Amino acid sequence: AGWGTAGRPSAAPEAGAEPAVPRSLLTATSDRACRQGVLLLGWRPVTGRNKKRRLLSAVFFIYFIYYFFFPLSRSLLPVEKVFASLPQVERGVSKIIGGDPKGNNFLYTNGKCVVIRNVDNPAIADIYTEHAHQVVVAKYAPSGFYIASGDVSGKLRIWDTTQKEHLLKYEYQPFAGKIKDLAWTEDSKRIAVVGEGREKFGAVFLWDSGSSVGEITGHNKVINSVDFKQTRPYRLATGSDDNCAAFFEGPPFKFKFTISDHTRFVNCVRFSPDGNRFATASADGQIFVYDGKTGEKVCALGGGKAHDGGIYAISWSPDSSQLLSASGDKTAKIWDVGANSVVSTFNMGSNVLDQQLGCLWQKDHLLTISLSGYINYLDKNNPNKPLRVIKGHSKSIQCLTVHKNGGKSYIYSGSNDGHINYWDSETGENDGFSGKGHTNQVSRMAVDEMDQLVTCSMDDTVRYTNLSKRDYSGQDAVKMDVQPKCLAVGPGGYTVVLCIGQIVLMKDKKKCFAIDDLGYEPEAVAIHPGGGTAAVGGADGNVRLYSIQGTSLKNDDKSLEAKGPVTDLAYSHDGAFLAVCDANKVVTVFSVSDGYAEHNVFYGHHAKIVCIAWSPDNEHFASGGMDMMVYVWTVSDPETRVKIPGMFPSKS
C-alpha cells in the first residue's frame, strides 16, 4: 500500500494542513486490471478529526470501489493440488535431474516448466512456469535459497525457492543458444553454464552481477556437461560432443588441458562431493575417474566398458565412495570407486522405453529416469524391481474426465502420445492401464453408464476400457472409417462419435448409423442426460440438434446460433442448460426447457475458448481458453466469475 500523489512520493504536509489521503488504497494483488483501474482514480484530500477517522474513510472508499466497480476481478481461486508431469525426455539425450542440498526435493524440466517434487512423497509438487521457452536444466544453489534454470534460447533465470511466488532474482543471457547444463560453486556465488552457443559454448560468472570470472574454452563442439569441484581450491570440468573433457583451474577459471580418453560424445561430468575425484561418462560406454585437484587419470571403471550401451548420466553417493550410472543398455549400476567394482546392477526392462537417461543419488534415495519418462526409485536389496515407479504424462494432456470408482474420485487423462493415466484426486497417486492401448493422440474421453472409459484417438479407433479391470482389450477397440476427433456418451449404451466430415452413432460398442455429406464440419458433441437428443457444434458457428431413434440419427432441422465457430459444448447434469463456447471468446448458454432459447451470454476470455464443463450443482460451469485462463461462471449472473490465471503455459 502507498500514500501520496499518483506516480510520485508525497511531500511532507505544511504545518496545519490536512495530509493527503488516497482516494483509493493500492493493495498487493495479482489482478493487473484492478490495479490499473485503482490507479486511474487518483487522489483527493479527505478531512476528518483524526488520523483514524481519515484512514477508515479511505478504507471504506476502497471497499466500495473494489466491490462495486470491479466485481469481475475480485475472486481468484487458489491452487489446491498440482499433479506433476514427468520429465520431458528424448532418445539419445541425457536428462538432468537436480537435487535439493538439504535432501528433501528433486527437480527436473518439462516444456517451459521446472517441476519440484518431494523425494519422500513425490505427490507433493510445485511448478515454476516463468520461462518463455523450453527449459532444459534446473539446479539448486548449494545454499538452497535459489534455483537457476536455463532454456533453449540461452536465458538463465535465477529465482527464489523460499516463497511460493518464486520471485525472479536475476536473469542473464550467457550466450545465444541452448543451455544444456549448469553448475554452482559451493558458496553459491559463481555459476558455470554450457551448451550450444553460436560464438562460444560456455560461460562462468558471478551470480549477482553477471561479471565474468573466467573463460570456458578448449572445445570445438557443443558442450554437454559441466561441474565445479565443491571444495577449495576450485576446479571446473566439462564434457563435449568433440569426444573430449576439459579441465580448468580458478578463479578466474582458465583452461589447463584436454582429456581425450573417450572415443564418443562425453555426456556427463561430475565431481565427488568431497572434491577428491571427478568422473566422466560417455556414449562409448566408458566411465573414467580422475583426481579432483590435478585432473590426472585414476582408473576406468570396470577396467574397460562400464556398460554395454552409451552412458547418459552419473551421480555420486553423499559420502563420495560410490557412483550411480544410467545407461542406454537399460541398466543402472552402483560402482565402488575405490575398489573399481560393480556393487549392484539394476535391470530396468527389455523395452526400448526402459533405456536410462538420467540419475540422482539423493540421501538414501537412488533415482533414475527412463526413456518412457518414468521416475524409478531403485532398491539396493532387489536390483530387479524398483521400490516404486512414478508415472504420469511426459507429453501434453489433450483431454480428461472425472469419475467415482470404489468410493474414490479419480481423474482420467489422455495425452498426445496415446497414453492414458488415472489419478486419485485426493492423494495424487496415479498409474496407467495395462496392455496395449492407443498409439496416437487421445482426443476425447468420457465415462458411460457401464463404468467404461470411452476414448477416441488419432489412431482411427474408439476404445472401451473397463474401469474396474483397468486394462486394454483388443476386442474393445472399434476401427473407424475416418479419423475421430470428439465423442459423447449417453444412456442406453449410445455413443456419438464425430469424425472428419462424418457423424457416427454407436450402440453397445458397435457402429449402427453414419451421416456423411453434412455440409459443415462437426467439432463438438454432447448427448442430453435424459437421452434422445445429441447436440453437434460446427465450425460454421451453429449447433444442430439430432434425435437418437433406435439405431439411427435424425436431424431435427433445429439449429442454435453461437457467436463464432463452436469449439466445445456441454449439457448441465440435470439437462436444463446447454453451454456452448466458441473461437470468438464467448460462452452462450441455452435453456432447454424454453426450446433452447438463449439464456445468457458470458464474456471475459481474451483468446479462443477450447473447453467447457459443468459443476455437479448445475449452477456453475468452467471454461478454459488459449489465454491460459480458466473461468468459473455462475449461470444466473454473467457478471460474477472466479478466475484461475496463467496455470497452463504452452509447451510449444
Instruction: Summarize pLDDT for 179-218 with one digit per residue, the tens.
Output: 999 999 999 999 999 999 988 999 999 999 999 999 999 9
The DSSP-derived string for 41-65 is H-B-----SSHHHHHHHHHHHHHHH
What whole-number distance in Å separates Cα of residue 538 and Cα of residue 521? Answer: 6
Share of the chain above pLDDT 90, in %: 84
Contact 643, 32 (CB under 8 A): no
pLDDT value at residue 20: 37
Query: Is there a contact between 112 and 650 (Cβ–Cβ < 8 Å)?
Result: yes
Instruction: Determine the Cα–Cα distance for residues 267 and 327; give it in Å rounded to an integer.
Output: 11
Question: Which residue, among 393, 431, 439, 390, has the nearest Cα to 415 in the 3D structure?
Answer: 393
Count the neighbouring beta carbons within 10 Å of the beta carbon of residue 568: 23
> Distance between CA atoms of 455 and 467, rounded to whole angstroms?
12
Decide the pairing of beta strands 356-362 and 168-172: unpaired
- Give the three cell numbers for residue 498: 464425430
H/E stretch holding 435 reads none
Residue 287 reports pLDDT greater than 60: yes
Q: How far is CA 117 from the centre of its chain?
A: 12
pLDDT of residue 475: 80
Residues 276-289 have a mean pLDDT of 98
Q: How confident is the model at residue 240 (pLDDT cuts 50, 70, 90)?
A: very high
Question: What's the pLDDT at 188?
Answer: 98
Q: Tabulate helix, strand, coil % of the chain (nearest 5).
A: 5, 45, 50
Distance of CA 517 to the CA centre of its chain: 40
pLDDT tens track for 344-393 = 999 999 999 999 999 999 999 999 999 999 999 999 999 999 999 999 99
pLDDT in tens, 129-178: 999 999 999 999 999 999 999 999 999 999 999 998 999 999 999 999 99
Average pLDDT (493-518) is 97
CA 138/CA 146 separation, integer angstroms: 10
Question: How large is the average pLDDT for residues 69-92?
Answer: 75
Question: Is the pLDDT at 525 greater than 50, yes or no?
Answer: yes
pLDDT of residue 290: 98
List strands edge to edge, sheet with 494-499: 484-490, 494-499, 502-507, 510-515
pLDDT, position 37: 32
pLDDT of amino acid 80: 80
Check if the beta carbon of residue 234 is closer than 8 Å to that of residue 224.
no
- The whole-number pLDDT of residue 61 equals 54
Instruction: Say whether pLDDT at 28 is over 60.
Output: no
Question: What rounded mean pLDDT belongs to the chain?
Answer: 89
Instruction: Report the predicted TM-score, pTM, of the whole model to 2 decimal places.
Output: 0.85
CB atoms within 10 A of CB 248: 28
Annotate 327-381 with three-state secondary structure: ECCCEEEEEECCCCEEEEEEECCCCHHHCEEEEEEECCEEEEEECCCCEEECCCC
Rounded average pLDDT over 295-321: 97
The number of helix segments (H) and strand segments (E) in the chain equals 2, 51
47 touches 55 (CB < 8 A):
no
Calculate the dihedral angle through the C-alpha atoms of 342, 346, 349, 352, rounding to the nearest 10 degrees. Answer: -60
Please check the confidence at residue 527 and state whether its pLDDT lies above 80.
yes
Is 267 a residue whose pLDDT tops 80?
yes
Q: How does residue 648 score in pLDDT terms, banded at 50, 70 and 90?
A: low
**How many other CB atoms are there within 10 angstroms of residue 146's CB atom?**
20
pLDDT for position 406: 83
Which residue(s) pair with 462 in the sheet?
A: 456, 478
Is residue 421 over pLDDT 60?
Answer: yes
C-alpha Rg value of the chain to the nearest Å? 30
Torsion 4-6-11-13 (CA) sign: negative
> Higher-confidence residue: 177 or 406?
177
Quick one: average pLDDT of 426-431? 92
pLDDT tier at 25, thresholds 50, 70, 90: very low
